[in-house]
């Protein structure tokens, strides 16, 4: 680590300082005691194995030869470390606003950076490739031709994840996953502090705040989607261009995440 920081970053996708910070937080959660049957594996080694797995997607058997740890043990290590990371950081890293002022701050960012007022977040789903689980048939097989789970995400103007739903079967549509989500139910029941409607710049009619999404989702007063692509007027084409431009933030955020891990 100290001898070649660049190689360490290439191996784990994070720098030594971040690795030590992460180890301090999750280390106590993944440390186990010695037993009569085996000695425990150091938490820093567990973390390094997990980060390598996330960085490369290699199989447990492939990682076994580089780490000299049995593949079934690596499976257990990866699961435990990932659960520890989520438990330690989920509340700090992904925070869904619950007050109107917080949503308005996000809308101001979208208006300033993407010239699309009253947008409070962008919504989309991303397929995460997996091996087909046993006895699940085509439940995880998506229309792109491979097995996956779905990462459904709401993203702010600065590519920050505001809300995520992970683990739905790849054979489900984005709309189906969204319709079954707790957040959609909370929005419909008015439980997350959506701001009151206000006029757009240069207008006097109150317009509500909304999520930006694509054609896969149902239109709502709080969810904006593009016009159908057939027979569009000039104003409608301009609107679609602006909306697609804003919605790219969620695609870019997922792309950045996939590039790192």
pLDDT digit string, tens, across residues 221-230: 899 999 887 8
> For 190-209, how does the pLDDT look when each residue is reduced to its tens digit (9 = 90+)?
888 888 999 988 888 899 99
Structure letter (DSSP) for residue 39: P
**Which stretches does DSSP call E strand in 62-130?**
119-129
Task: Give the pLDDT mean for 124-135.
Answer: 85
Q: Secondary structure of 182-244 in the HEC alphabet?
A: HHHHHHHCCCCCCCCCEECCCCCCEECCEEECCCCCCCECCEECCCCCCCCCHHHHHHHHHHH
Contact 42, 2 (CB under 8 A): no
Global confidence as pTM: 0.76
- Which pLDDT score, from 0 to 100, does residue 2 have? 59
> For 228-254, how does the pLDDT look when each residue is reduced to its tens digit (9 = 90+)?
878 888 999 999 999 999 999 999 998
Query: Sorting pLDDT into bands at 50, 70 and 90, what band is 261?
Result: low
Q: 125: closest CA among 81, 85, 175?
A: 175
Q: 26: closest CA among 13, 39, 43, 42?
A: 43
Contact 128, 148 (CB under 8 A): yes
| Bridge-based pairing state of the strands 210-212 and 206-207 | unpaired
């Amino acid at each position: 680590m100290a001898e070649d920081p660049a190689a360490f970053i290439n191996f784990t996708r994070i720098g030594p300082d971040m690795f030590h910070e992460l180890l301090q937080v999750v280390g106590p959660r993944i440390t186990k005691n010695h037993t009569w049957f085996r000695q425990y594996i150091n938490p820093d080694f567990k973390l390094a194995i997990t980060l390598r797995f996330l960085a490369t997607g290699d199989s447990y058997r492939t990682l076994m030869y580089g780490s000299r740890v049995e593949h079934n043990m690596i499976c257990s290590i990866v699961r435990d470390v990932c659960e520890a990371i989520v438990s330690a950081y989920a509340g700090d890293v992904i925070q869904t606003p619950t007050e109107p002022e917080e949503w308005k701050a996000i809308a101001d960012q979208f208006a300033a950076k993407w010239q699309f007022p009253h947008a409070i977040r962008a919504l989309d789903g991303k397929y995460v490739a997996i091996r087909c689980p046993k006895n699940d048939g085509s439940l995880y097989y998506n229309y792109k031709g491979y097995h996956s789970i779905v990462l459904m995400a709401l993203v702010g103007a600065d590519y920050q994840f505001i809300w995520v739903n992970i683990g739905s079967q790849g054979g489900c549509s984005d709309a189906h996953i969204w319709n079954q989500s707790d957040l959609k139910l909370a929005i419909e029941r008015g439980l997350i502090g959506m701001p009151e409607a206000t006029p757009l710049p240069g207008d006097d009619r109150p317009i509500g705040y909304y999520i930006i999404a694509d054609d896969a989702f149902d239109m709502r007063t709080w969810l904006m989607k593009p016009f159908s692509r057939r027979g569009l007027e000039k104003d409608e084409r301009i609107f679609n261009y602006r909306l697609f431009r804003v919605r790219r933030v969620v695609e870019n955020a997922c792309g950045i995440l996939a590039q790192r891990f």
